Amino acid sequence: MFFRCFSTPGMGLKEIYPDLAIFLLVVYIMVLIGNTMIITLVLLDSKLHTPMYIFLCNLSLTDIVITTSVLPKMISVCLWNDVSISFAGCFLQMYTYLAFQIAEVFLLCAMAYDRYVAICNPLRYNSIMTIKVCVILASTAWALGMILPALSVILASILPFCSNQIMFWFCDYPPIVTLSCLDTTLLIDLALACALFVMYFSFTVIIWSYCKIIKSVCKIATSEGRKKAFSTCSSHLVVVLTFYIAHSCVYISAKSYHIHPNVLILISIVNCILTPLVNPLVYSFRNKQIKDSVLKLLPKLNLTRSD
Threshold 0.75, pTM exceeds? yes
Task: Go through 242-274 and write b for each residue having 16 or more CB atoms within 10 A of its CB, e for each that does not.
Answer: bbbebbeebeebeeeeeeeebebbbbbbebbbb
Q: Is residue 163 part of a domain?
A: yes
At residue 282, the pLDDT reads 83
| Number of domains, the chain | 1
Task: Please check whether residue 307 lies inside any domain of the structure.
Answer: no
179 in a structural domain: yes
Range of the domain at 238: 2-297
For 156-198, what is each residue's pLDDT tens digit?
999 988 888 887 778 888 888 988 888 888 888 888 888 888 9
Please determine, for residue 307, whether its predicted confidence score (pLDDT) is greater than 70.
no
With a cut of 60, say whether residue 127 has pLDDT above it. yes
Asked if residue 302 belongs to a domain, the reply is no
Region 26-33: what's the mean pLDDT? Answer: 94
> Is 303 inside any structural domain?
no
- Across the range 114-129, mean pLDDT stands at 90
Tell me if 306 is assigned to some domain: no
- Under a CB-based contact definition with an 8 Å cutoff, are residues 64 and 275 in contact? no
Produce one character per residue of 129-149: b if its CB has 16 or more CB atoms within 10 Å, e if not.
Answer: beeebbeebbeebbebbeebb
Is the predicted pLDDT of residue 212 greater than 50, yes or no? yes
* Average pLDDT over all residues of the chain: 84
Q: How far is CA 279 from CA 17, 91, 273, 276, in A?
A: 27, 27, 10, 6
Domain-embedded: residue 38: yes
Q: Is 304 a domain residue? A: no
What's the CATH number where 36 sits? 1.20.1070.10
Q: What interhelical angle do 17-44 and 288-306 show, nearest 10?
A: 90
pLDDT digits (tens, 9 = 90+) for 259-302: 776 777 778 888 888 889 988 888 776 677 777 777 777 666 55
